[in-house]
Structure 1
């Protein structure tokens, strides 16, 4: 069976359909959307298919019935009509000056002004020009216009570190969108997408009738590829991936799930795969990190450092209320809203009372994000030190924790620390990041037991290491070991078995951090 031709880098619905490339049919949800109401806003992470969704809406409203042959829309829509469509995309541009935004708007508005017989203008009265265009289109076609805006927040994200410029761009864009509410009587449909939620508090202060479907169960799968769609529509490609990598079919499914699945966009959301990573993986036959390599979250990692947020809870999940993560970006007091809206955190589960558990969605995001964060805690690029990495992993493979800690001590002594961060939490974060990035092992921090929480647990193929950390001026390694015993931190692992059926070796390790030398001070390892 021939493998699917995936639309790598193609976001135009017509090109995908005319070239015979694979399209995951979302037109049943699109039909439901366009019949439900008229004003919508949807937020999704980058590379999640927002531009393709906007393109599909464009061709639907332009009456291109031929492009929907064989899709759900072909049977659902019985009255194809052609509407004037105003599609404005801010994706792909860089907005680092006010002129960048002006050039983009002048180019697009001027194109439409010529199309509808208006005299092109270079004035920045964006709202007035847009209003005249919409009225002209309505008058000349006799049909209510459609407005589609893709990545509305790109100018605001580009100017995040320049508040003065961001405010200017925000005001200019508010001018553009201001007439849309008053023109509701002649508009057929308005749809805006973005990554972050700058919300009605800023750009959309006048456009306060937008229906936000970002966390609506009905549209949770409108972008991305659900696990059901993967397993029912992509069997040949999964088998090809399995054959190339020496995996069983089930093993390939599990690997794809760990690497690219795990997104949830509402309380009852299905499992959603990152579509960009998934189709690249199946096309290449590799389980690589695609999504994260397309853009390093510089702003996010700086925010993490600014707010001194410990990244370790993201690994196991942490509780949050809706207000804590589905919040306007510009009013956020911590990086959690942007991390969630950008796709670095997702909903892992929901609880009564609008409470949720957030965490990393999958391995690709987890390792990519921690790698990007590491320079803010350690050196410019931890992975440059290949000698350290190889020897560190070899030591753990050999259950030689003494050698592993010796290497860790030498590594940490070369890190230029911020004097204000020489506390126990900072040292533990570096320890966590190093283990997570350098090893394939299970690493947990603040691991719960019946009597308390161990600082860190590292589980390898043949051993379990329980660590307790102390600052050298506050306690000794013997104090740390005594706490492990008193709290029973090793007890939950006493029946943990290796693949050969034998119990894993258990080790308790007390570690002190030397504040003066800024590295590991002493340690003591006792086999449990």
Structure 2
């Protein structure tokens, strides 16, 4: 496919202000038809989406719409849909600004958030007044009385303080009380409210925070609004052709190859049964702007709550890679009461719906390569060493050894690496060692890695497929078998047979290697190994 050269778009990197994007001529994916539908259907809404998925831009778009800024919507779907352009007073609260839950700092942040709006309506606020709900009530009354119009309330990242408190039972209880106090007036004042919209990452517990606001319409998994945040595959392929071609040219790819690379790296999100393919917007526009296929989402940092969950639940990542079945209540559940990490991992964007099955069952898994690599890299310190530099250095040496087909050297690197893992009495089993090996192989991104690979006769432990070789690994804990036993199992089960006709790029058969490995439980590393070619 050939794309005619033309000026590339100015992407709004780091800009979530709708007015600035429109006034500065930056690229905007038109979601205003959905905004119109949203604002003309119900009164109270809640939407959760992962971080950096466009929630703040959506809130900003709603604000500009309700403020009647018609000029900003020229050329968008809203221009034809809206005929009245009525102006409403808008109260917007950005709870993501609350980063510290110390009593005094929390109060100062809340005072700042409410104080800006109070000043707008001439309310002299008392810095010592920590009755947040009462202050919001006064604000709504003042806005309504001064304008004669019902009030719009927009809350961005409602759960930021709650997520900061996760893991501390007493602090979480205190934060819940504060948030409940803040949001409690919203239902009681429904008579003078035009629209209420709350966003966040996590699903709320109705009883803990919104005990009185029980009339929220949750659109998180609503088919009609699946594409309201993020950029769909259709939008990418129809609106970003010049940028994709530029990415292809810079990286020596064909246009179709660049499309496939973008899809593997940033696509794959599904938020309901009938969701279109949705790209991570933050990563996508950064990639097209830079002309690189980098890991942008994870470069912004791993949320504290995720690292806590890793430590608490000793997360096993292997099912996430191939996908695992789950019912709706296993992942679309309140995070603060969850008994496992699945709800938070799903709601935070580390897992997504891969497909749906009969009986209200879903297949969950990593959405794309960016998330897979970032998650596994973040997980490595909890199974191995905390020093990221050491981890990265080891992985580079291991990759070099595989590229040179020096299997003995590669295994020696693994032995040395695993010897440095601190002793953990709770995870001394075969699965622990397999997980470490899984992380090592998966983080070697140039290669195709499969674990628990199915064949007609059973499941092999791990397969690493490079451009010109296939390495079949079988592991045994020393008390359960030797390296010879592992090799025998590979032969008896015929694990390598499916790869016997696999070809390298030059048309020659790929070299096949069988590697039997035993783990030394006492030394907590791999013990003996044997490598057989063919």
Q: TM-score, normalised by structure 2?
A: 0.95
Q: Are the aligned partners of 1:91 and 1:151 in contact in 2 as well (CA < 8 Å)?
A: yes
Task: Provide structure 1 residue ranges, at least 5 long, that are not aligned to the other structure.
Answer: none
Superposed CA deviations along residues 140-190 of structure 1, whole A, max 9, x for unmatched, are: 222110110000011111122322122111101101111111211221110
Secondary structure of the residue aligned to 2:11 is coil
Q: Are the aligned partners of 1:464 and 1:507 in contact in 2 as well (CA < 8 Å)?
A: yes
- Alpha-carbon shift at residue 527 of structure 1 (Å): 2.9
Superposed CA deviations along residues 215-255 of structure 1, whole A, max 9, x for unmatched, are: 11111110011111111111111111112222221111111
Superposed CA deviations along residues 465-510 of structure 1, whole A, max 9, x for unmatched, are: 2222111122122222222233332233233222223332322222
The 1-side partners of 2:434 and 2:94 are apart by: 44
Q: Is 2:507 the partner of 1:469?
A: no
Where does residue 422 of structure 1 map in the other structure?
428
- Residue 153 of structure 1 is aligned with which of 148, 159, 169? 159
- Alpha-carbon shift at residue 308 of structure 1 (Å): 2.4
- Alpha-carbon shift at residue 22 of structure 1 (Å): 0.8
Superposed CA deviations along residues 446-479 of structure 1, whole A, max 9, x for unmatched, are: 1122232111111111222222211112212222
Alignment of 1:101-500 (within 5 A): 101-122=106-127, 123-384=129-390, 388-500=394-506
Superposed CA deviations along residues 320-340 of structure 1, whole A, max 9, x for unmatched, are: 111111110111111111111
Q: Are the aligned partners of 1:11 and 1:49 in contact in 2 as well (CA < 8 Å)?
A: yes
Superposed CA deviations along residues 86-125 of structure 1, whole A, max 9, x for unmatched, are: 1000124313313333222222333333433444233122
Task: Provide structure 2 residue ranges, at least 5 long, that are not aligned to the other structure.
Answer: 1-5
- Alpha-carbon shift at residue 437 of structure 1 (Å): 1.4
Q: Is 2:27 the partner of 1:22?
A: yes
Following TM superposition, the consecutive aligned residue runs of length 4 or more in structure 1 with deviations greater than 4 angstroms are none
The change in CA–CA distance for 1:29 and 1:487 in structure 2 (over 3 A counts) is same
The 1-side partners of 2:118 and 2:414 are apart by: 64
Secondary structure of the residue aligned to 1:521 is strand
209-218 or 130-139: which moved more?
130-139
Q: Is 2:73 the partner of 1:68?
A: yes
Q: Are the aligned partners of 2:267 and 2:367 in contact in 1 as well (CA < 8 Å)?
A: yes
The 1-side partners of 2:403 and 2:320 are apart by: 26
- Alpha-carbon shift at residue 317 of structure 1 (Å): 1.2
The 1-side partners of 2:154 and 2:280 are apart by: 23
- Residue 16 of structure 2 is aligned with which of 2, 5, 11? 11
Secondary structure of the residue aligned to 2:190 is coil
Q: Is 2:30 the partner of 1:54?
A: no
89-98 or 65-74: which moved more?
89-98
- Alpha-carbon shift at residue 439 of structure 1 (Å): 4.4
The 2-side partners of 1:387 and 1:78 are apart by: 61
Q: Are the aligned partners of 1:383 and 1:389 in contact in 2 as well (CA < 8 Å)?
A: no
- Alpha-carbon shift at residue 384 of structure 1 (Å): 3.2
The 2-side partners of 1:93 and 1:176 are apart by: 14
Where does residue 513 of structure 2 map in the other structure?
507
Q: Are the aligned partners of 1:262 and 1:273 in contact in 2 as well (CA < 8 Å)?
A: yes
The 2-side partners of 1:115 and 1:307 are apart by: 47
The 2-side partners of 1:383 and 1:396 are apart by: 20
Q: Is 2:47 the partner of 1:42?
A: yes
Q: TM-score, normalised by structure 1?
A: 0.96
Superposed CA deviations along residues 66-95 of structure 1, whole A, max 9, x for unmatched, are: 110010000011111001111000124313
The 2-side partners of 1:412 and 1:326 are apart by: 37
Superposed CA deviations along residues 332-360 of structure 1, whole A, max 9, x for unmatched, are: 11111111111111111111122111111
C-alpha RMSD of matched pairs (Å): 1.7
